Amino acid sequence: MKTVSILGFDSALASAITGMNDLLSMAGVTWYLLRKETPRPFFNVRLLTADGSPVRCAHGLSLQAAGDFSEALDSDILVVPTITRPVNEVLSNNPALIDTLQTASERQILIAGNCTGVFFLGESGILEGRTATTHWAYAEAFRRRYPNVHLQPEQMVTEDGHILCSGGGAAWKDLGLYLTERFLGREEALNLARTFVLELNHDARQPQLSWRTRAYHQDEDVRRIQQWLQDHLSQPIRIEALADQFNMSARTLTRRFQRALGDTPLGYLQTIRLEQAKTLLVETLDPISVITHAVGYEDISSFTKLFRRRTGMTPRDYRSRFQRPRTSRSAPA
Position 101 pLDDT exceeds 90: yes
**Mean of the pLDDT values across residues 200-224?**
56
Element (H, E) at 190: helix 186-196
Q: Report the pLDDT value the prediction gives residue 204, as an integer from 0 to 100.
A: 36
Q: Report the pLDDT value the prediction gives residue 122, as an integer from 0 to 100.
A: 97
Question: 150-151 and 131-132: which strand pairing?
Answer: parallel
Q: How confident is the model at residue 210 (pLDDT cuts 50, 70, 90)?
A: very low
**Domain spans, the chain:** 2-196, 215-322
Q: Report the pLDDT value the prediction gives residue 111, as an integer from 0 to 100.
A: 98
Mean pLDDT of all residues in the chain?
87
In angstroms, the CA 158 to CA 306 distance is 17
Q: How confident is the model at residue 223 (pLDDT cuts 50, 70, 90)?
A: confident
Q: Report the pLDDT value the prediction gives residue 202, as an integer from 0 to 100.
A: 40
Closest CA to 83 of 23, 6, 132, 14: 14
Give 51 or 191, the one with higher predicted confidence: 51
Closest CA to 195 of 13, 37, 6, 17: 37
Q: Report the pLDDT value the prediction gives residue 309, as an integer from 0 to 100.
A: 82
**Mean of the pLDDT values across residues 158-185?**
87
Q: Report the pLDDT value the prediction gives residue 328, as an integer from 0 to 100.
A: 40
CATH class of 2-196: alpha beta
pLDDT digit string, tens, across residues 58-95: 888 999 999 999 999 999 999 999 999 999 999 999 99
In angstroms, the CA 271 to CA 26 distance is 35
Return the percentage of the chain with pLDDT > 90, whole number: 57
Between helix 250-261 and helix 220-231 the angle, nearest 10°, is 100
Position 140 pLDDT exceeds 60: yes
Q: Report the pLDDT value the prediction gives residue 120, as an integer from 0 to 100.
A: 98
Position 199 pLDDT exceeds 70: no
Give 135 or 324, the one with higher predicted confidence: 135
Q: How confident is the model at residue 322 (pLDDT cuts 50, 70, 90)?
A: low
**Mean of the pLDDT values across residues 164-180?**
86
CATH of domain 215-322: 1.10.10.60
Q: Report the pLDDT value the prediction gives residue 169, as an integer from 0 to 100.
A: 67
